[in-house]
Amino acid sequence: MASARIKWTGQKEFIGVDSTNHSVVISTPAEGTGMKPSELLLVALASCTAVDVVEILTKKKLTLTGLEIFATAEQEADPPWTFRKIHLNYVFRGKDLTEKAVEQAIALSEEKYCSVAATIRGKAEITTSYEIHLEA
């Protein structure tokens, strides 16, 4: 079972702790010391798919030397500022990466494995793009 806890540390700052006792600082933009709660959702989505994609490409015995995922989102103008569109741009680095393998890995993550994407999908449209930078 997944679990997490939030501890208020004062002002508008909190510490989030997961079930494995790892933590992240969370705050409002005015506080300026931690991640914004809403953007933490984008980090969760990007990191969830990153784990999947790395594992899938590794199982395909492809040489992945780097991966960055840039998440951008559009929110409603009025409270509760719901995310309506989220775009993930994957930037891959590696030796023998192919468009087919990358597209399959992204699709498998999005459609089958990423629990965060599956949770968000009914509320927000998730789109993806990718870049492959081959290394010698």
DSSP 27-43: E-TTT-SSB-HHHHHHH
pLDDT digits (tens, 9 = 90+) for 70-81: 999 999 999 999
User: What are 20-42's pLDDT values in tens digits?
Assistant: 999 999 999 999 899 999 999 99
Residues 52 and 68 in one domain: yes
Does 81 share its domain with 119? Answer: yes
Q: How far apart are CA 74 and CA 69, in angstroms?
A: 17
Q: How many domains does the chain have?
A: 2
Q: Within this chain, do residues 10 and 53 fall inside the same structural domain, yes or no? A: no
Could you tell me the two tokens for 21?
């006792």
Find the domain containing 84 and state its range.
37-134
**The predicted structure's pLDDT at residue 1:** 86
Domain shared by 21 and 64, yes or no: no
34 touches 27 (CB < 8 A): yes
CA angle 36, 130, 72 (to 5 degrees): 20
Judge if 29 and 47 occupy the same domain.
Answer: no
